[in-house]
């Protein structure tokens, strides 16, 4: 994994999804137990020695993830701009530890939406997106253009629209492939008229 001050192998892996959002301070919106799973993305395989580390968290390798962005080697000399151009940033997991390469909230939310499988995960994504009032629209647009997963993009946009975030109207959607036809996340849900995705009809009841 990329880290400042680390010695040894430099891997093209970054922390994303739920754990990246937990590091950003959104852990109280995450499902119980899920924030303790460190989700890693990238073309490199996780080294075998990682599983032997005495950590409370467990690692979950998600492969390249939903984006077609070119892989980077996360060296200590990597500039913040080079990372931000891919929706990534240096982030310290704990005070006094080396910084890791993590997804920004924009990228982490799309990674999380890509893993939505049931009503509970939709409730989680909805609560997280409600709190994200300051996402950067240009970065969101860039990531949507480079996201291969229709499953990630449609609920992300539908839930953002549901919360009427001001940044959404400034997201450039030109060149964003949202696929065709209706998609169902949950059976018996409510079809979003714009993004043609079926969401649970009781989302308001699950917001804190």
Q: Which one has a higher pLDDT value, 52 or 80?
A: 80
φ/ψ of residue 81, rounded to 5: -65, -40
Task: Look at residue 1 and tell me whether its pLDDT is greater than 60.
Answer: no
Q: 197: part of which helix (H) or strand (E)?
A: strand 197-199
Predicted TM-score of the model (pTM): 0.88
Q: Which one has a higher pLDDT value, 117 or 84?
A: 84
Give 14-62 pLDDT, tens digit per residue.
Answer: 999 988 998 888 877 676 555 567 889 998 887 777 777 776 777 888 8
Measured distance CA(189)–CA(185) in Å, rounded: 8
Per the listing, tokens 């499953």 go with 151
Measured distance CA(77)–CA(140) in Å, rounded: 26
pLDDT at position 38, please? 85
Give 140-182 pLDDT, tens digit per residue.
Answer: 999 999 999 999 999 999 999 999 999 999 999 999 999 999 9
Strand residues in 83-160 grouped as ranges (E): 88-92, 99-103
**b/e string for 94-124 if b means 16 or more Cβ within 10 A?**
eeeebbbbbbbbbbbbbbbbbbbeebebbbb
List the chain domain ranges: 14-104, 107-206
Tokens for 5?
């001050």
């Amino acid at each position: 994994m990329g880290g400042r001050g680390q010695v040894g192998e430099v891997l093209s892996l970054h922390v994303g999804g739920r754990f990246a959002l937990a590091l950003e301070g959104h852990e109280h919106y995450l499902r119980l137990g899920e924030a303790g799973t460190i989700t890693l993305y990238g073309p490199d395989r996780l080294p075998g020695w990682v599983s032997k580390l005495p950590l409370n968290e467990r690692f979950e390798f998600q492969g390249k993830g939903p984006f077609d962005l070119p892989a980077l080697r996360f060296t200590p000399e990597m500039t913040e701009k080079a990372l931000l151009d891919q929706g990534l940033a240096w982030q310290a997991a704990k005070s006094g530890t080396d910084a890791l390469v993590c997804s920004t909230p924009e990228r982490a939310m799309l990674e999380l939406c890509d893993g939505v499988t049931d009503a509970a995960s939709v409730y989680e994504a909805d609560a997280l997106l409600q709190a994200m009032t300051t996402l950067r629209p240009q970065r969101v647009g860039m990531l949507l253009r480079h996201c291969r997963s229709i499953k990630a993009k449609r609920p992300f946009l539908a839930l953002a629209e549901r919360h009427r975030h001001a940044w959404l109207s400034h997201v450039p959607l030109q060149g964003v492939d949202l696929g065709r036809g209706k998609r169902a996340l949950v059976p018996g849900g409510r079809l979003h008229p714009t993004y043609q995705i079926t969401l649970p009809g009781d989302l308001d009841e699950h917001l804190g």
